[in-house]
Structure formats: structure tokens, C-alpha cells
Amino acid sequence: MSVKRGNNLSRVYAIITTSLVLFMVGISFLIFLHGNKLIDQFKESVEFSVILKDTIENERIITLKEKIASAPYTQQFEFVSKEEAMNRYIELTGDDFREMLDNNPLYASINIKLKAKYANSDSIQFIQNRLIGEVGVAEFYYEKKLVDAINDNLKKLTLIVVAISIILLIITFMMIDGTVRLAMYSNRFIIRSMKLVGATRWFIVKPYLIRSLFEGILSGLLAVGGLVILLNILISVIPELTVLQDVSLTITLFSIVVCFGVFFSSLSTYFAVGKYLKMKLDELY
């Protein structure tokens, strides 16, 4: 009776420990996911201006707008006429140059916001070359230093996150492996006895693998439940996080957390049972 109780307690301990480890892994994935969404939103907020020549004809402007609207890199665009550019300048600066100048020195433009995946140096250079070659286009302007700084920092951040993720996964496996081995320790004599009566390796391993499968799923679901509660609390405290939510990616993330629980638990169980099958009787004590 005490042995059975000990087994049950070790299994409960293994499930709780595994779920806590998976919960921490899930938090790191959520940070990475929301961080990427935030970076993408920031990249898509950068404006690129296609400055038009004063001599450009209206038909050419319409054609150019249609090309930009249908381009795969365009997130959104806006045509700003010379008059509108003047009104915006006066409203922004309070400086009405019409009192000193007879003509409007500002140019009409098409302001573009790119999709995040095109907001990198190579893609921007390609887009710039294409648009500069269009008839009626005088210049392609954007804050190059800002865009380069965003992309450089993103590369560094990606390397750091990948390194942390690898380290975290190694730590996760080690912790789950240690927990499972500790839980399997109380079954070492049963495993040994089954081998002595002639049971095959698969016959011995199979029930433990099935149990680890259910325990891994349960641990993963407990971790996912904790992540859902945490996410809801954060959204209630910081409502702005709502715009960063992606239901399909979040569901995928939760599925990965559960799969990790199943995979690591099953793998550790397989090796733990194999260890006790190879040990001699006196080594079990």
C-alpha cells in the first residue's frame, strides 16, 4: 500500500514539476511571439515617400498609384497632392510660406508603408530602384538610418533569443529527465522482476511509455492553462496587448508546449526504463 502511495506521489510530483517547466518555456515563447509582432508593427509604421515631379501628368499618377496598390510589398499607401502637402506643412509648423512665396515649393508624393517582411535593406533597395525608374518619379525618400538601426537590432535580438531558447530547451529536457527518472526509481524492482521472468523489452517499456504519454499531455495542458490565465491577466492590465494577439499562432504555440511535454516525458521514460533493465540486481539498492 505504501509502495503504491509512493508511486502515486512521485507521479504527481513529476506532473507538477513538468508542467511548471513547460509553463516557463511557454512564457519565453510568448515573449518571443509578441516581441516579433511588436517589431513587425513598428516596421510597418515606417513611411516611405515616392516624390513626384511637378511635370507628371494626372494619368501617370493614376497608373503609378495602381502599380503601388497592387505591389506585393505594399501594406498601405496614400497620395498627397502639392496642395495637401502645403496644408500639412502649415498646420504642422505654423509657418505660412505663402506670404513670402508666390508658388508652392512642395512636391506631390505617394507615401507607402511596407509589409514587415519587405522592410529590410535588400528589399527596400530593390523597391527603390524599381520606383525611381518609373516615369514622373523624382525621388524615393525614407529614414535610412532608422530602418538600418531597426534591422540591425532585430538581427541581434534574434540571435540572442535563439541562443536563450536553445539553452532553455536543454535545461527543460534535463529537468524533465531528472523528474521522470526520480519517478521511475520507485519502479526499478518491478522492471527488473519483469525482465527476470522473460518479458521482452517492448513489453516492459510499453505501459510506462503509455503512462508517460498521458502524463506529458496532462502536464502540457496544465502549463497551457497557466499561460491562458497569465495572458488574460496581462491583457486586463495592459489592454494595448490585444492588438498583438494572433489566435492561430497562439494555438500553435500552446500545441507545441503540449508536444514538448509528451516528447520529453516519453523520451526520458524510455531511457530510464532502459537504464534499469541494464543494471545488475545489486546496483538497484
Render pLDDT for 116-174 as a digit per residue (tens, 0 to 9): 889 888 889 999 998 998 888 999 988 888 788 877 877 787 777 778 777 877 777 77
pLDDT average, residue stretch 255-263: 87
pLDDT average, residue stretch 99-116: 83
CA distances, 54 to each of 82, 83, 143, 249, 280 (Å): 9, 12, 23, 47, 90
Q: What is the pLDDT of residue 246?
A: 76
94 or 43, higher pLDDT: 43
**Closest listed residue to residue 172, CA positions, set 223, 229, 248:** 223
Q: Domain ranges for the chain, please list them.
A: 2-41+150-284, 47-142
What's the CA gap between 40 and 103, in Å, rounded?
Answer: 40
Residues written for the chain: 285
The verdict on domain 47-142 having CATH code 3.30.70.3040 is yes
pLDDT tens-place string over residues 185-204:
666 666 666 666 666 666 66
**Closest listed residue to residue 175, CA positions, set 265, 251, 89, 235:** 265
Q: What is the pLDDT of residue 72?
A: 93
The dihedral through the CA atoms of 242, 248, 253, 255 has a sign that is positive
Q: What is the pLDDT of residue 127?
A: 92
The count of C-alpha atoms lying within 13 angstroms of the C-alpha of 257, restricted to the half-sphere facing its C-beta, is: 30
Q: What is the pLDDT of residue 252?
A: 87
3-state secondary structure of 84: helix
